[in-house]
Amino acid sequence: MMIQSGPTGEPRFISLMAEHNELCEQFARAFGNARFEVPDPYEETIYVIGHHDRGWDEFDASPVLDPITGFPAGVGGAKGAGGAATTKLSPDYNQAHHDYCGLLASMHTWGLYHARYGFSNFRVRQGGSTSVPISPEMAEETNAILSAEVERQNALKEKISANPETKNWVEENNLYRNYKLLQFCDTLALYFNLRHEDERAVEVFTHVPENNTSETSVTIRPEGNNTYSFAPFPFRESRLKIRSKGRFFTAMSVNSAPGDLGAYMAGLPIDEQVFTFVPGL
């Protein structure tokens, strides 16, 4: 669950992880032009970008209220349930679709705890870490899960490379090109999902792949009126309209909270935030 920041006393825009994934998929499907090549394999890469956090589904269906803020726990707010467990569940979800999707999803969740393999400088919180911190009480469980993910990755690489039709998918340049695209789409979505428009400043996204041997940094700049410029511009359309789904949630006390917070949130009207992307200078 993504808890967007907001002015004190005002409702906050909250997106489920599935809606965060939908936003990522919009970026992925729009990505590509004369300078930036589309991913290969295409559909498998788009699928995992659009489903990389789906291990959170059951946790989002049963949210917990943070008694301090009055908002549900989640990314961008108080720490909620999930964490280590979804490190396995999200790759499981993607592997059920295709082994390659499971591999990229496993790399993504492992990378969250290891500075995204060094391919991103994005920080969820200003001044925070590029990695998800592991609390001492969760260290043994989390490290065991992460070790199992490395084993999963090695097994999937071996299986995919044994097929002549897919063996080039796991060649290092090709695999990491698509991993970097996943990180670009994910962190770009976090920029919008977690930050109120008043807090969105100039941000530089590093290691954005141009092809399987070349990469660059992309700078996003707010231009006002929910318009954002990108330099260089990595999308196909010169003027791109993006829609981010969610619902507005007003802070509540524990005493006034509904017995089933998940059902309450499911009953809130779905809203959307709309952004326009244009080329920058």
Is the whole-model pTM more than 0.85? Answer: yes
How far from chain centre, in Å, is Cα 188? Answer: 8
Q: What is the DSSP letter of 34?
A: S
Sequence-ordered list of residues with C-beta below 8 angstroms from that of 67, at least 6 positions apart, any chain: 253, 254
Residue 22 burial (C-beta neighbours within 10 Å; 0-12, 13-18, 19+): middle
Burial 126-149 (b: 16+ CB within 10 A, else e): eeeebebebeeeeeeebeebbeeb
Strands (E) in the chain, as ranges, are 2-3, 12-15, 203-209, 215-224, 227-231, 240-249, 271-279
Q: In a structure prediction context, what are the per-residue pLDDT tens digits for the chain, which is 281 residues long?
A: 999 999 999 999 999 999 999 999 999 999 999 999 999 999 999 999 999 999 999 999 999 999 999 999 988 665 666 667 788 999 999 999 999 999 999 999 999 999 999 999 999 877 788 998 888 888 898 899 999 999 999 999 999 999 999 999 999 999 999 999 999 999 999 999 999 999 999 999 999 999 999 999 999 999 999 999 999 999 999 999 999 999 999 999 999 999 999 999 999 999 999 999 999 98
In angstroms, rounded to a whole number, what is the distance separating the alpha carbons of residues 26 and 78?
Answer: 27
Which residues is 240 bridged to in the sheet?
277
In angstroms, rounded to a whole number, what is the distance separating the alpha carbons of residues 100 and 169?
Answer: 8
pLDDT of residue 49: 98
Amino acid letter for position 277: F
Q: No. of H helices and E strands in the chain?
A: 8, 7
In angstroms, rounded to a whole number, what is the distance separating the alpha carbons of residues 112 and 19?
Answer: 19
In angstroms, rounded to a whole number, what is the distance separating the alpha carbons of residues 49 and 53?
Answer: 9
The SS3 assignment for 23 reads: helix
Q: In what order do the strands lie in the sheet with 271-279?
A: 2-3, 12-15, 240-249, 271-279, 227-231, 215-224, 203-209
Cβ(28)–Cβ(236) below 8 Å? no
pLDDT of residue 81: 63
In angstroms, rounded to a whole number, what is the distance separating the alpha carbons of residues 189 and 183?
Answer: 10
